[in-house]
Structure 1
Amino acid sequence: MKENKSGEQSVSHTKQEIEGQPELWESVYDLIQIQEEQITTFLDPILNKKDLEIILTGAGSSAFVGEAAQGLVQKNSQRTTRAIATTDLVTHPELFFPKDRHPVLLISFARSGNSPESVETVSLADSFCSQIYHLVITCNKDGELYKYTRANTKTALAILLPEKANDKSLAMTGSFTSMLLTILLVSDLKDIESNKLELQRIVKQGNLLLENAKAFKEISAKYFERVVFLGSGPMLGIARECHLKLQELTDGQIICKHDSFLGFRHGPRAVTNEKTLLVYLFSPSDHVYKYELDLATSISKDPRTIECVSIGRSKEKALNSCLNIDLNLSPNQELNIVPATLIGQILGYYKSLQLGLNPDNPSISGAISRVVQGVEIYKYPKKATP
């Protein structure tokens, strides 16, 4: 809901799409369960191929889906997995696509399926790789990538997500978390039944974050000009998506950064000042949390009194967080990266309103748009050979 001058509210796609995610995740789970046999029939022969390499790709937020999922997909599939953005593959395909005869499974994430780089990446993969297979996870049945899979059924399969995953607003919210949940479930499809309990857990966690909307609104009313999101392992990709979401929804007026807890010590910490908000996306792993807490404790001793938001763990008094949300994380939880994404979305939504912007279309200059504009694709200069 967007607040107007009188304090009343009007319909906002962004708010509805943020709030609708826990219910959407249940729909995604049901969809994957229904399509389990079809997905297994397509993927099993591919995953059994010797020396298979999996490439996770997309542009913008869709690329960050792959970044967050990379380690977990590799762990679940036991196959070498790399996250490479289409924006890198289009300009330098020769650096990333194998020139030998190793089979490749290209998993494309796409809200619209019409981004020029994503469409060109599929074409380049077909040209460079002698054994190439495609799994497209998309929210749009009318997109070019979905159409590609319908025309190449022997080597390509699309998972078309529920209509509500196809966000109407500029910022990717439900589409991001739906695609992320999909690849995590698909990579561990043999345990789809046992993951039902995990699904219920993240739905509760997502709803808990949404119930704290008032607290996020109050934090957004504070004056800060920089926000840094920190996460470890798969959560690093979520920190990057949160970084983009807040910066995007505030039309660049709030400058954001992201890093790992350990990496932040090695130079990037220089970005912090009295006008910085730190957002800690804590890990469910007790071992990892020791490293994270060390860094957070160190920052809490900074004489400049840098404010922080702590997400995931029980409250640590030493951190003096302006907001702490305990998500009751399970030590072995892996799907927790899905609800954690809401942090950047909620903060971005309320900060957008606080700055007088329209969260559905915050770009005053039109510099960013729902589907990227102005990208010209140039023919690759040399014919690819396997």
Structure 2
Amino acid sequence: MSDLLNAVSTAVPAVALLTRGVSMEEQAERGYGHTLREICRQPEAWRAIGTRFTERPSGAGASPDGWVLTGSGSSHFIGVALAPTLQASLGVNVRAAASGALLLTPEAYVTAGSAATIVSFGRSGQSPECIGVIDLMLERHPLCRHIFVTCNPEGRLARGYQQDDRVSSFVLGREVDDKSLVMTSSFTGMWLAGRLLGWSSDASGFTRQSSTLADIGRAVLLSRLEELARVAREPYDQAVYLGSGPRFGAALEAELKMLEMCGGRVRTRAETYLGLRHGPMAGIGGRTLIVAFISSDERRRAYELDLLTELQRKRLGLAFVVCGAALPDHAADECVLNVEYGECAGVGDDDLVAIDVLVGQTLGFFRCLHERLKPDSPSETDVISRVVPPFPIHPI
């Protein structure tokens, strides 16, 4: 058991029930051991990534034809979370495109003769549409450069294209290659590696930022896990996740974690704050959990808090989980749980994605247990699997 998981087991009664006197082998047999360890290993994994990866790969310069960030499912949401950040730092157009969309309509993202940089994210490096997109792009758009970010050192992203000088890779390794069906440390590990792609030449700054994130993540796990476990057991049948800018990517991932780990028993939706007013608010009722990732940017925050005030005035939502740094005081409202990230000096919305996702993973994990499902393999009838099985890739 890791030092942090040991500390969490001591400090958090909800975790102690799962670990005290229960071997790691038995935890795995009960169907939660892998996911619990993988959630709790994230802060130290971030610190290690910040120390190990100190240079951007070749091809990570500002391509005049822009960047496309691609992946499937959670890996796509990494791109959604990173695109605003990388566009601001690189000064070129950066778009996030699901691998499936890029495979079916490549002309919508990459034009003939383009020399764009295409960044592919994939935990296993084996998913059929991910490999299909790469093969398609290498053949039809030979001027494009590629950067692969993957966890599995044995997958095709890690090993299948090593001889092609258009390809560079980040292989994070087994330390974040989650065994659970749901991605937890794999998501935040690949996101953090992607964050480096837009970093300045000062690698020490990336190392410091990774370490700061690790400290924040550790503090959240130790101080807020018990309350999150309690909220996860509330009688809601729907969960709505709200985020702005890069943290909308976190909302998408947090929403997917609840959906996957509860086998669809909890209906889920991710939305922007202002987008919620344009129809989706009609679906929020008295049995809806609302998880709000609050921006540090003052202008965005003002819009977000206005929306939360409106929801409360209309008496929409069973409970609110409000997450961010230097949050307004909701202590008097028993329906609101503030998950305070602390002062977060030097850490803004571009980086708090990792902490938001950590909160979403925790809510999904404890709700899964409440539903008497197994977080390591929550799909009782194998509707979904850890790696999408092969399917035909049709030629253009």
Q: TM-score when scaled to structure 2?
A: 0.88
AA of the residue aligned to 1:157: S
Structure 1 Cα separation of the partners of residues 315 and 369 of structure 2: 31
> Residue 365 of structure 1: CA displacement?
1.0
Q: Where does residue 8 of structure 2 map in the other structure?
A: none
Q: What is the SS of the residue equivalent to 1:157? A: strand
- C-alpha contact (below 8 Å) 1:136/1:149 kept by paired residues: no
Residue 10 in 1 paired to residue 27 in 2? yes
What does 1:1-386 align with in structure 2 at a 5 Å threshold? 10-11=27-28, 12-33=33-54, 36=55, 39-40=56-57, 42-43=58-59, 47=61, 49=63, 51-99=64-112, 101-152=113-164, 154-211=165-222, 212-303=224-315, 306-312=318-324, 313-317=326-330, 321-328=335-342, 329-330=344-345, 333=348, 334-380=350-396
Distance 2:382 2:269 in 1: 22
Maintained 8 Å contact 1:138/1:179: yes
Q: Is the 8 A contact 2:59 2:146 kept in 1?
A: no
Going from structure 1 to structure 2, the CA distance change for 1:13 and 1:155 (only over 3 Å counts) comes to same
Once the 2 structures are TM-superposed, how far is the Cα of residue 172 of structure 1 from its aligned partner?
A: 0.3
2:51 partner letter: D
Aligned equivalents of 1:270 and 1:205: distance in 2?
Answer: 35
Q: After alignment, is 199-208 or 352-361 more displaced? A: 199-208
- The one-character-per-residue Cα deviations of 1:94-140 (angstroms, maximum 9, x if unpaired) are 322212x2311110001000000000000111122141111000001
Q: Residue 171 of structure 2 aligns to which amino acid in structure 1?
A: L
Paired with 2:171 and 2:191, the residues of 1 have a C-alpha distance of: 13
**Contact preservation (8 Å) 2:290, 2:317:** no
Amino acid in the other structure paired with 1:323: L
Cα root mean square deviation, aligned: 2.1
TM-score normalised by structure 1 residue count:
0.90
The one-letter code matched in structure 1 to 2:205 is S
Shift of 1:186: 2.3
Distance 2:355 2:362 in 1: 11
- Would you say the 8 A contact 1:25–1:203 is kept in 2? yes
SS of structure 1 residue aligned to 2:162: helix
- Once residues 56 and 2 of structure 1 are traced to their aligned partners in structure 2, the CA distance between those partners, rounded to angstroms, is 39
- Number of residue pairs aligned between Structure 1 and Structure 2: 369
1:320 CA drift (Å):
5.2
Distance 2:271 2:110 in 1: 27
Note the residue ranges of structure 1 that are not aligned, 5 or more in a row.
381-386
- The answer for the alignment partner of 2:10 in structure 1 is none
Moved beyond 4 Å, runs of 4+? 1-4, 6-9, 318-321
Cα 1:319–1:124 change in 2 (3 A) is: farther
Going from structure 1 to structure 2, the CA distance change for 1:296 and 1:261 (only over 3 Å counts) comes to same
Contact conserved, 2:75 with 2:121, CA < 8 A, in 1?
yes
Structure 1 residue 24: deviation in Å?
Answer: 0.3
SS of equivalent residue, structure 1 residue 193: helix
SS for the counterpart of 1:84 is strand
Other structure's SS at 2:148 match: strand
1:284 and 1:320 map into 2 onto residues whose CA distance is: 24
Segments of 5+ residues of structure 2 without an aligned counterpart are: 1-14
1:3 deviates by: 6.2
Query: Quick check: 2:327–2:340 contact (8 Å CA) kept in 1?
Result: yes
SS of corresponding position for 1:257: strand
Paired residues of 1:300 and 1:320 also in contact (CA < 8 A): no
Write the distance in 2 (CA, Å) between the matches of 1:345 and 1:239.
11
